[in-house]
Structure 1
Amino acid sequence: MIEWLSYAGAGVIAGLLAGLFGIGGGLIIVPILLLVFSWQTMSADVAIHVAIGTSLMTISLTSLSSMRAHHRYGTIDWILVRKLTPGLVVGSISGAVIAANLSSQWLQSFFGAFALLMATRMWLPSPNTLSPKLLAHSGMSAYGLLTGVISAMVGIGGGTLVVPYLVMAGQQIQRAVGTAAACGFPIAVSGVIGFIWMGLSQQTNTSSWQTGFVHWQAFLGIISTSIFMAPVGAIMAKKLSHGKLSKLFSLLLLVVGVVFLSR
C-alpha cells in the first residue's frame, strides 16, 4: 500500500509541474521512484534506469493532458513543435540507448549534475531575446536533438530546456511554456521505446510489473493522479507569477542534486 500511495503522491506533484512549468515532472518522479525501488530491494544496478524509463512513460500521458489544456488556451505554437519534433525523437531514442549503457553510478551522477544545473538556472535572470534566427529550421533541429538526448537520460519532458531557448528566440513566456508542454509527448514516447527496447535486450526484468526499464505499477500509481493535476497547473500558469515558485523548486532540485552526487 505504501508503494501505491508514494506513486500517487508523486503523480500529484508531477501533474502540477507539467502544467505550471511546461515540464514533465521527471526531476521529481525519478528521485521518488528511486527511493521506493530501494524499499522494494530492486537491484541498485538497474533502479535508476527503471526510474527514468518509468518517468518517461508517465510523461507520455501527462504531457497529453497538459498539451490539451495549453492548446485550449492558445499558447502552443504548432509550427515550432513540428520543427523541433524530428530532433526530439532521434535525440530521445539516442539518449535512452546511451543511458542504458551507462552504469548506475554514472547515470545517477549525470542526473545529480543536471538537477544542480537546473537549480542554479532558476536563480539567474530570465534569458534575454537574442535573435529570432534561433527559430530557423536547422537551429531548431540541432537543439531538438540535444534536448531529446538530455531529456531521455534524466527522464524529463524537456520543458526546462525548451522554454529558455524559445524565450531567447523572442517568444512570450506563456507561449514558450505551452509549446514546451507539447514537445514533451514526442520526447517521452521515443524515450519509452528506447528504454523498453534496451531493457529487454539486456534482460533486466526483476519484477512481474516490469517490461524492460518500465515499471507498470509505478506508472499506474503516478498516472492515476498526475493526469488530473496537469490542467490545474496550466490554469495556474496563466494566473500566477512563477518567481517564488521557481525559487522554491530550485531549492528542492539543489537537495536532489547533492543527494544524487553523494550516493
Structure 2
Amino acid sequence: MELTFFFLAALLLTGLLVGTASGLFGVGGGFILVPVQYWLLTASGLSADLAIRISFATSLAVILPTAISGTYAHHCRQCIHWDAVAWMGVTAAVVSYGGALLATHLPARPLEVIFAVVLILGAVRMYFSALPSCETATIVHSRRTYLLWGIPVGFISGLLGIGGGILMVPLMVVILKFPIRHAVGTSTPIILFTSAGGLLSYIINGLGVVGLPPYSLGYVNLINALVLAAATIPMAQVGALLAHRISGIQLRAAMVLVMCFFGLKMLGVFSWLGLPL
C-alpha cells in the first residue's frame, strides 16, 4: 500500500464527510468509510479479500472516537435516551464481536453485496415511514425490546464494519417511534458499543495474517485510522449542530440519498450503466 498524495487526500476528504454525516445522521459513517477505503486499497494492489476486511476494521477504529464526539454534542442538546442506549448497547457489543469474527472468514464479494443490500433496504424503509414529531411521538420504552433489537444491529455492525446507526435510526423511527432527532441522538452512543465489540474481534483475528500493510494492528490499518479520525472527530460536532438546524423531512431525505448512492455503488450498478461515478 503506497501512501501517495492522492491516497492521503482522499482519506482526509472522506474523514471530513464522514464526521459531518456522523453527527448529522447519528451514524458511524461506515457506509462511507468502508467503500472509499476498499476502492483505495484495491487500487493500491491489495487483494479484495484483505482490502474489505481492512476497510471494515479500520472503519470501526475511526467510528469509535467519532461517536464519542457526536455523543457529547447530542447530549448537550438533550436528545439522547440513555435507557435505550444502555440496554441495546450491551447486547449489540457482544453480538458485534461474533459478526466481525464471521466476516474474517468470508470472501469479499458476498460481503460487498450484503453491505449494499442492507443500505438500500434501510433507505427504502426509512423513506416510506412517517416521521413522528416530539409532540406526537409515543416512544416504545421496553428494555426487553431494546435488548432483542440489539442482536441484529450488533451482528450486522460487526459483520459489515459499520457502527450500526444506518440500521438503528430507521429502526428507532419506524419501530420504536422516536422523533428523528432523538433517534439520531440516541443512535450515536450505541455506536460506541457496537464498534468496540467488532473492533476487538478484527484486531484479535487479524494478528499474524500474512500480507497486511505496514502499521497494522490486526486488520486495523493505523495510518488510515489516524488520518481519517483527525478529520472526523471535529466534524462530528458540526454535523450534530446541522442536525438541529434543518427539518426532520430534510434530514431523512439527505440520509436516504446518501444510503442509496453508496449501496448502488457497492453493487456495481453505476459501472454496469457506464456512469463515471
2:255 maps to: 246
CA RMSD of aligned residues (A): 2.3
**1:125 is paired with a residue of what secondary structure?**
coil
Stretch moving more, 76-85 or 157-166: 157-166
**CA drift at 1:130:** 10
2:202 maps to: 195
Question: Whole-Å Cα distance in 1 between the matches of residues 186 and 163 of structure 2?
Answer: 12
**Per-residue displacement from partner, 1:21-55 (whole Å, max 9, x unpaired)?**
00011111111001110121112221101101110
Of 137, 162, 166, the residue aligned with 2:143 is: 137
Q: Decide whether the 8 Å contact of 1:147 with 1:162 is kept in 2.
A: yes
TM-score relative to the length of structure 2? 0.87
Question: Whole-Å Cα distance in 2 between the matches of residues 39 and 110 of structure 1?
Answer: 22
Of 212, 218, 239, the residue aligned with 2:218 is: 212
Question: Whole-Å Cα distance in 2 between the matches of residues 153 and 96 of structure 1?
Answer: 5
Summarize the Cα distance change of 1:77–1:207 in structure 2 as closer, same or farther, 3 Å threshold: same
Stretch moving more, 251-260 or 158-167: 251-260
TM-score relative to the length of structure 1? 0.91
Alignment of 1:63-82 (within 5 A): 63-82=67-86
**CA drift at 1:177:** 1.1
Question: Whole-Å Cα distance in 2 between the matches of residues 111 and 94 of structure 1?
Answer: 17
Alignment of 1:5-20 (within 5 A): 5-20=9-24
Question: Whole-Å Cα distance in 1 between the matches of residues 85 and 238 of structure 2?
Answer: 23
**CA drift at 1:135:** 3.3
Aligned residues: 261
Of 24, 27, 32, the residue aligned with 2:28 is: 24
Question: Whole-Å Cα distance in 2 between the matches of residues 31 and 165 of structure 1?
Answer: 23
Letter of the aligned partner of 2:127 in structure 1? Answer: W
1:109 maps to: 113
Structure 2 gaps, min length 5: 273-277
Are 2:160 and 1:151 equivalent residues in the alignment?
no
**2:27 is paired with a residue of what secondary structure?**
coil
1:119 maps to: 123
**CA drift at 1:170:** 3.2
Letter of the aligned partner of 1:218 in structure 2? Answer: N
Question: Whole-Å Cα distance in 2 between the matches of residues 261 and 187 of structure 1?
Answer: 31
Question: Whole-Å Cα distance in 2 between the matches of residues 197 and 211 of structure 1?
Answer: 9
Of 185, 198, 202, the residue aligned with 1:178 is: 185
Q: Decide whether the 8 Å contact of 1:123 with 1:250 is kept in 2.
A: no
Q: Decide whether the 8 Å contact of 2:31 with 2:259 is kept in 1.
A: no
Question: Whole-Å Cα distance in 2 between the matches of residues 55 and 212 of structure 1?
Answer: 13
